[in-house]
Amino acid sequence: MRIIGCIVEDHNLWFVLIAAIMCVAGSMVSATLFRRTMAEEGPAWVHWCFLSAVTAGAATWATHFIAMLGYQTTAPVSLDGVLTVISALIAAGGIGLGLVLASSTSARIAVLGGGATIGFAISAMHYVGMFAYRVDGIVSWDWRYVLASLAIAMVCAGSAIHLLRDQDNGYRVWQAGMLLALAIIGLHFSGMAAFSVTAMAGYSQNGDSDAFAALAAAIGMVALLIVGTGISTYLVERKASSDGENRIAHIAMHDALTNLANRRQFTEALAGECNAIDSGGQPFALMMVDLDRFKPINDTLGHPAGDLVLQRIANRLKLAARSGDIVARIGGDEFAIIAFGVTGVATAAEIAERVVEVLSRPMVIDGNVVEISGSVGVALAPDHGTEPDALVQHADIALYSAKHHGKQTYRVFEPQLMEVIQRQRSLEAALRRASMRDEFRIVYQPVFCSAKGEITGAEALLRWTCPEHGEISPTEFIPIAEELGLVARIGADVLRKACKDAASWPAHIDLAVNVSPVQLLDPRLPQTVAQALADSGLSPSRLELEITETALLNNDEAALRTLTQIRDLGVRISLDDFGTGYSSLSYLHRFPISRIKIDKSFVQKLPDDVGSASIVRAIAQLGSSLSMKITAEGIETDSQLSFIKEHGCDEVQGFLTGRPIALADFLVLTGQQAENVEA
Amino acid sequence: MPISRLLYTSSARLEPGPQTIDKQLCRLAGEAALLNEEAGITGVLVYVEEQFIQVLEGESAVVEEVFERICCDFRHAQIKLIDLIPVRQRMFARWHMARLCEGADPESMLDDDLKNIRYLLGVNARAAVERMYETLISYEDIDS
């Protein structure tokens, strides 16, 4: 009660109010600075320690000083300058020492050592300040209050340090600030309660009171300046570090090259949207975007050009998406779009179509025209899932399907696609096993001389019976084998086996083997062919390799080299499926081709379809003028056969003349033929 | 500074609405001309049978930039890059973007000329560009 009485009766309340504001504001700033100091390390810690100690010291000291000005006593008062300055140094130095201890990793040293030191420093400042306060009267001290004031200061400061050690909770700063304020206020007024003055009779107030007030004001002002400097230093630093933090946050969430959202931000946004949808949020579409022909750009134009392409792609994607949608780069040439508020397939399709279109547009990079395109897979939430993983998987399946349907297109997920993909996946696995275990069979389709009707050769055709899915057509499994990188191995096996088989045939029967475009890219192909011939003893002149025009399309230099080497072995090259691809006549001229095989799509429309008839006639003429042999494939009717004969195709092949058959049956067939010829 | 000439075609994706096709075209071409002038691009824009044929000439890097902007613009559809060649000097140096529009003057021979240009484009792009220049010169003479 004496403390409250001391505040109300002995103090000028205006000064008390100012002191209280100073105290609370100073304590808040001190708590903030303490927390910062305790989090720092190295040289920065030393600076922060100094700044905090000076600011907190000045704040407590100013509080004490202002409150003292409000202390009303009848006795005349003067101030000892030296002791006053010493009291300020004690405050700053003591708090600094306390902070050193409070920065310790040990909780005991920090809270008990640091807190007590700070509490003691504040107390020491107070009492030294009281000695500087010279009152002309009889001064008496009540030691119980002195001890109580020390205890209050040390316990409050220790608690404040304890709270500030919890760096994660920002709210703690306010609590610690209030405790520091309590420490200072509690100390001051209990300390003042311990202090009483009785004016001595006969002394009047001396004339120094003006000088006293001026000195007090000056000291208070300096203290305020120091506190102010501390606050503004802290604010400037916090602004700089929050700018830095924003920049770091931006870097963490964005792709450096394209400035799109990165995989991390995409994952977080997708998870967020999925959570929102569970609690009644808006539907949205997830689109996976994959560039169809990006790798060759890096390979041919170099990585800087590739980077520029990616930047432009990023820009185009942002324009194709609507504003507010998230466009992210989630891999080298993989992008994703989260399109918000997409309620149906129609809206999603519209956006996906824009994406496909804008990606298919030409691009000029350093004078080079870059032809690029993209495929898009779309999954809708919540229709196709509300879990991020399921949505990504479904969008990926749709993308996979888009890529397998000619690329440069989009697909919206459908449950049926799952089955297609599952079949694809299980075929892939089965095909890997098959190529290890050699599960492929070769059948031979006889080729006949159109004039005499004799067998002149056979085309080796690959057959595969999948243990799970049964007979699989080569048109289905060859592309898969190409993708899995198995085709070179399978192709080499076929070549080896077929050559071995053919070596046992009558010498006038030739062998034709298909070579896929991927095989043709392999520079080891001539070596493989030579090896197969050497192992089997088949004469090179009896072997013919069938290639398609697509194989020549993009890599004609490499293909030309490989084909020339094969031709030099004595092996002939024929052009399969002629008329279906780009059918550039320049290929016939530039490449060592000795035979053209007219595609069955023309032959099958014979003889009624005028267009097909004239194409077949033209190819036959072309063959005779370029001295190339012509084979007509896919003969199914007699009228087709007679048309072909009439127009001078050398050889025929088709279901009418002979279906593909197993080796044993083929041997029987050739044996019969041989007998027929002999008879 | 290396100079390039770029030739592309596109079909205009015009909005159905109260604005006539002519007005929309005028606005499109006007916007483009303004940007081109700033970028130092010259050339000609032909509109024939609902198709744009445009020649852009200028510093190579700038031509690239302008063309990329066009490729980002959804008012164009089916953009096809026909030709891109380095040139010694500009052919259309006098026009920031000359315009040749079908149907502007039904009496003139312009429509036939433009259709010829369009046909020529599929056969020989460079000849088509020269034809555009000649057409532009001859109609400019008549106008003046």
Could you give the ipTM of this predicted complex? 0.88
CATH architecture for segment(s) A437-678: Alpha-Beta Barrel (3.20)
Residues of chain A that touch chain B, judged by Cβ-Cβ distance less than 8 Å: 312, 315-316, 319-320, 354, 357-358, 361-367, 369
Q: Which among A354, A362, A367 has CB closest to B71?
A: A362
CA dihedral A619, A620, A623, A629 (to 10 degrees): 120
pLDDT tens readout for residues A233-255: 778 877 887 888 888 888 888 88
Reply yes or no on whether the pLDDT at A394 is more than 90: yes
For residue B81, which residues of chain A lie inside 8 Å, CB to CB? 362, 364, 369
Query: Residue B72 and residue A315: Cβ atoms within 8 Å?
Result: yes
Decide which of A209 and A348 is more confident. A348
Of all residues in chain B, the one with the smallest CA distance to A370 is B81
Q: Both tokens of residue B117?
A: 């240009």
Query: Residue A364 and residue B6: Cβ atoms within 8 Å?
Result: yes
Reply yes or no on whether the pLDDT at A206 is more than 60: no
Looking at residue A207, its pLDDT comes to 46
pLDDT tens readout for residues A592-643: 888 988 888 888 888 788 888 888 888 888 888 888 888 988 888 888 888 8
Count of pairs with CB atoms under 8 A, one residue in A, one in B? 38
3-state helix, strand, coil in chain B (%, to 5): 45, 30, 25
pLDDT tens readout for residues A17-53: 888 888 888 888 888 888 888 888 888 888 888 888 8
Enumerate the β-bridge partners of residue A308.
none
When pLDDT is cut at 50, 70 and 90, the band that residue A110 belongs to is confident
Between CA A30 and CA A179 the distance in angstroms is 11
CA distance A337 to chain B (A): 17
Looking at residue B144, its pLDDT comes to 42
Cα–Cα distances in angstroms (integers) from residue B133 to residues A168, B3, B44, B121, in the given order: 72, 18, 8, 13
Q: Both tokens of residue B137?
A: 């010169």
Tell me the domains of chain B and their CATH numbers: 3-143 (3.30.70.100)
Looking at residue A679, its pLDDT comes to 42
Q: Which among B64, B71, B74 has CB closest to A354?
A: B74
Between CA A252 and CA A266 the distance in angstroms is 12
CA distance A370 to chain B (A): 10
Looking at residue A458, its pLDDT comes to 92
Query: Residue A362 and residue B64: Cβ atoms within 8 Å?
Result: no
CA dihedral A201, A204, A210, A215 (to 10 degrees): -30
Q: Which among B4, B68, B86 has CB closest to A363?
A: B68
Query: Residue B84 and residue A357: Cβ atoms within 8 Å?
Result: no
Q: Both tokens of residue A587?
A: 């290929």
Query: Residue B4 and residue A367: Cβ atoms within 8 Å?
Result: yes
For residue B86, which residues of chain A lie inside 8 Å, CB to CB? 367
Reply yes or no on whether the pLDDT at A108 is more than 90: no
Looking at residue A267, its pLDDT comes to 94
For residue B4, which residues of chain A lie inside 8 Å, CB to CB? 367
Looking at residue A84, its pLDDT comes to 83
When pLDDT is cut at 50, 70 and 90, the band that residue A208 belongs to is low
pLDDT tens readout for residues A157-178: 999 888 888 777 767 888 888 8
DSSP B120-144: HHHH-HHHHHHHHHHHHHHHHHHH-
Looking at residue A388, its pLDDT comes to 93
**Average pLDDT, integer, range A416-442:** 86
Give the residues of chain B that fall short of pLDDT 70: 14-22, 103-108, 141-144
Query: Residue A316 and residue B64: Cβ atoms within 8 Å?
Result: no
Looking at residue A225, its pLDDT comes to 81
pLDDT tens readout for residues A350-385: 999 999 999 999 999 988 888 889 999 999 988 998
Q: Both tokens of residue A158?
A: 């220790």
For residue A362, which residues of chain B lie inside 8 Å, CB to CB? 8, 67, 71, 79-81
Reply yes or no on whether the pLDDT at A306 is more than 80: yes
Q: Which fold has domain A263-413?
A: Alpha-Beta Plaits (3.30.70)
Between CA A133 and CA A148 the distance in angstroms is 21
Looking at residue B23, its pLDDT comes to 72
For residue B80, which residues of chain A lie inside 8 Å, CB to CB? 362
pLDDT tens readout for residues A257-305: 999 999 999 999 999 999 988 888 889 999 999 998 888 888 888 899 9
Query: What are the residue ranges spanned by the domains of chain A?
Result: 2-244, 263-413, 437-678
